[in-house]
Structure formats: C-alpha cells, structure tokens
Amino acid sequence: MSNRHVLAISLTAFAVGCTANSSDGTAHVRVAHLSPDAPSVDFCLAAHGATDFTGPVLAAAGGSTGISYGSVTKYLDVPAAQYDVRLVAPGGGSCATSLGGLADFDDLPAIPDGASVTLAAEGLVAFGGTTPLHLAAYVDDDSVDAGSAKLRFIHASPGTPAVDVGVGGGAVFDALFSNVAYGAAAAQTNGYITTPALSGIEISARAHGAASDALSIRPAVLPAGAIVTAFAIGELTATGTPLRVLLCNDNAAPSGLLSQCSIVGGTPSRAHIRVAHLSPDLRAVDVCLATTGSTSFSGPVLANLGVQDGLTYAAVTAYVDIPVGTYDVRVIIANATGCSIPAIPDTKGVTVDEDQTATIAALGDSDPSGAAAADPALRLKLFNDATTVAAGQTKLRFIHGSPGTPAVDVGLGSGASFAKVFANVAFGSVGTNAGIDTLGFVQTTPATATVSARVANANTDALVIPNVSLTANGIFTAFAIGNKTGAGTKPLQVLLCADTAPANGVLSSCTVAN
C-alpha cells in the first residue's frame, strides 16, 4: 500500500464529522520548508478546531529526518477538509509537543475536493522578527495545454521588497510577473502563466520598478508539459542563506518523499553598455537586441527605459546592463512600432563579457550620396571603455566620429604651442601612438587646457576648444562629430563626455564644444 493511501486512511477518523469543512473526496497536499532560519521539521495534521493531531506525517511515511530548508514534500493524499497544522521536531513519534513551542497554524483555508495545495512555511523563527514564521496555502494547477508550459512565481524571501520577475535582464528585461509582494503569488490565476516551452533563456528578478537585477537563473529551461513554481527564498543580506530561487517541477514524478525541486540562481552576469548617436544626418533612433542566432529582438531598449522619443544626434545614453552573450544589434527609427524594420543593416555577432564596459557608437552618414558620396556610410562600432584611473590622475581618449573629416592629430594647446597627443587618428578609430593604452586613453595630470584638432601632419588648427577641464580621478572621451561633406549644418565639433560622472537621467554627462 502506498504512503499516500496510508496517510489518507489515518486521517479519515478525524475528518469524519467535520461536515462543514470536509467532503467525501480526496485532496493533495505538500509542505514546503522556506524559512531560512528554521531547522528541519516534520508536521502533524488535525481537523480544524480539533486537538487530536495525527502524525508526524513524514515519520509515518518513512521520512525520519523530516524536511530541511529549501525542500518540498511530494503531494500526499488527504481527505478534502480544513486542517490545522503543527510543526514538530523530526525523528519523533509524537505530535504532543510543537517545535520550539511554536503555536499551531489554525487559520488555513479549507482544501477543496480534488485540489492540489502547497503549504509553505515562510518567514523567520527568530523572536521579534518583522516577518515571523507563518504557513501560507497556495492552490496548485495540475493540468497544462499540450505543447505549453506553466510557470508561477511565489515571493517567500523575508525582508525582500516587492519584485518583478521576467525573461532576459538589465535593459532587455521583459517582465512576466510584476510587483509581487512577500508572502504572495503573482496576480494571475493561482499565480501561473501559460507560456510556450522555453529553453536556454535567462530569468531575472529585480526590485519592483528597478533597472538592475538582483538575481538571475541562466540557463533556464521550461519544457512543454511542465508545471513549474519558482519560490524566491533566502534573504538579501544573508551569507549562509542568500537570496535564491527554489525551482519546483510541480507535475514531475517525486523523488522519494520529496518533490523535484532545486535551488538555483545567483549574481547576474552583466556587461555595461551605452549608445552614442554620432551620425549627423540620422534621425532620432532606438536600439533593439537579439541573441545571435535568434530572430527575436527585445526592445526597443530606450523606449523600455521610458525614452519614447529615442536618442538624438550628439547624445549618449547612460550605461545600462545587458546579460553577457553575443548579440545582433538593430537600429530603428524612434517611435517605430516594434523592432521589425531596421534603419540600417543589423550589426551581427557583437559579444559582450562579464563586467565589460563599452560604448556602441553610430558613426557615418545615413545618406552618403551627392557631395557626401565619399563619406563613410552609417555603421555601428563598439569601443571598450576605461573604468579605473590612478589616484589623482585623469584619463582622456579621442574617437574620430566626423564622417567628412580626414585623419586628424589632436593635442593640447593651439597654433605654435600645439603639443600632439593623439596622432593620425582615422575616422572610426582611437589613437594608437606611444603613450596611449590599448583602449585609446592617455593618463596624465589633471589640467584645464586648450584642446585642438588639425588635419594629420598639418600646421594649422581646424578646431580649437579652450578651457577643457580634465579633473582629477576623471575619465573622459572626446568624440569628433559633425561635418558631413556638403552639409552646412552640424559643423565639426567635439562631444566631450565625462565617462565616470553621474548620469543625467538616461543620458551620460556629455557637452558639445565648438
């Protein structure tokens, strides 16, 4: 005889007579241990209001060690009724004494005939905590459409604020569950959403309304036919029981007395990317990203960040996080409906790594025709950015982004006092001469100086910018912009960005200097 049948028979005696809260049918109950500071437990059941507890349930089923934190029992058959629950120490044979003197849980709802229910022990047993231990009941789905899967999120991490959970991460986050508070499931029916089968994706969690992720699962797999519950467990500030996800395959065959669950997730792996609009004849744009090999573009990225009008010429976004990986990058006209129509050919195979900080720049002419026929056509290029500078020093880099301007020399001072720093820098490039690091930066003492640019090896200045302040501990990028051949507007200028300065909303701290 199975353990489920043994339990059902043992509970029949006290279920009889509770006509207001019982039925002749059978329900299916499992218990989840989600309290990070509670020891292993067993549990006993009694008809609501009765004092005759039956159990310990797991000991009677052969589980002498009870269940530990992060474990969930398999479903056990019980008569449909309303129950009180008492937690007891594992390994004993009596329900007389509760674990640590904990009060019985006597406020649970009735379990309907045929229902599957998870009773989750959530919160902390520590005295005086703001999230005391309690038992929450969640009704579980037990069917799913052919070819589909179901996913539910339950927030059981004490002390963690309300969260959003979705696929992707960083700037390419797509919420599946929004504003789920501690002790609750998402607002969908029983907390579940129905989705196509998912494979090789990333699932991330973040504080509600935040732009960065606190936790991610990668890769995450949700096969067709699966019914899965993701419990947020642990604590944000704990080291022994950190914030994690307990992922349970609700309709999978159990393993012994336990449901098929595993603790997953960790610190998100992110790159830090910004986008620079340096094309003098291109309208305001947005950017979409797709994992290389996929045709599914997420975004538009700026619109998702609340920038509905896109990125205009000579503006640079603040850095945003994106998951590490290899992407196809698509530029679209701002306010476009979706990402289906590219403004220029996609840039494919852009790989970003853990903690990489980089600028993706739109360079060249959108329409290199007529007098501008010799100008470079619009394209995207990635430049890796510096993030550290020696104490008391400053860093400066020059990127040539002016499509109608030949290779240039850039330096300090002007006229006869010109001192070359970046030599013979071609369009779309950074300086590579002596004294410049592999990212194109020169490190020097802080100064307020005149910065000048001239055609490579020429003796006269094409552009002079006085009073450029290169402050201590700052990192700066100077972009040459404008000067489309044959165009009278948007002349040659320098866009100076303080790369490590606080962002101005969704834009980097940049100034156009004539």
pLDDT of residue 130: 83
Domain boundary among 115, 140, 165: 140
Q: Are residues 219 and 120 in the same domain?
A: no
Q: Are residues 437 and 451 in the same domain?
A: yes
Residue type, 357: T
Domain boundary among 97, 117, 140: 140
In this structure, the number of other CB atoms found within 10 A of the CB of residue 340 comes to: 10
Q: Are residues 133 and 173 in the same domain?
A: no
10-residue block means of pLDDT along the chain (514 residues)? 34 31 74 97 96 94 94 96 96 92 95 95 86 95 95 96 95 94 88 92 94 93 96 94 96 96 96 97 95 86 87 96 95 91 93 97 96 96 98 97 97 96 97 93 96 96 95 97 95 97 95 86
Q: Are residues 457 and 493 in the same domain?
A: yes
Q: Are residues 136 and 153 in the same domain?
A: no
The total number of structural domains that make up the chain: 3
Round to whole Å and give the CA distance between 45 and 106: 10
pLDDT of residue 306: 81
CATH of the domain at 145: 2.60.40
* CB-based burial label for 196 (10 Å; 0-12, 13-18, 19+): exposed
Q: What backbone torsions phi and psi does residue 9 show, to the nearest 5 degrees?
A: -65, -40
Q: Are residues 376 and 246 in the same domain?
A: no
pLDDT of residue 186: 86
Q: Are residues 257 and 329 in the same domain?
A: no
Q: Are residues 331 and 467 in the same domain?
A: yes
pLDDT digits (tens, 9 = 90+) for 469-507: 999 999 999 999 999 999 989 999 999 999 999 999 999
Least Cα distance to 43 among 83, 16, 3, 79 occurs for: 83
pLDDT of residue 155: 97
b/e map 101-112, b = 16+ CB within 10 Å: ebeebeebebbe
Is residue 108 within 8 Å of residue 19, measured between CB atoms? no
pLDDT of residue 298: 84
Domain boundary among 267, 298, 328: 267
pLDDT digits (tens, 9 = 90+) for 117-170: 999 999 999 877 789 999 999 999 999 999 999 999 999 999 999 999 999 999
Q: Are residues 407 and 494 in the same domain?
A: yes
Element (DSSP H or E) covering residue 157: none
Structural domain containing residue 466: 270-513
* CB-based burial label for 66 (10 Å; 0-12, 13-18, 19+): buried
Q: Are residues 355 and 486 in the same domain?
A: yes
Round to whole Å and give the CA distance between 149 and 133: 32
Cα separations (Å) of 506 from 197, 208, 222, 454? 35, 18, 34, 33
Q: Are residues 64 and 89 in the same domain?
A: yes
Q: Are residues 122 and 187 in the same domain?
A: no
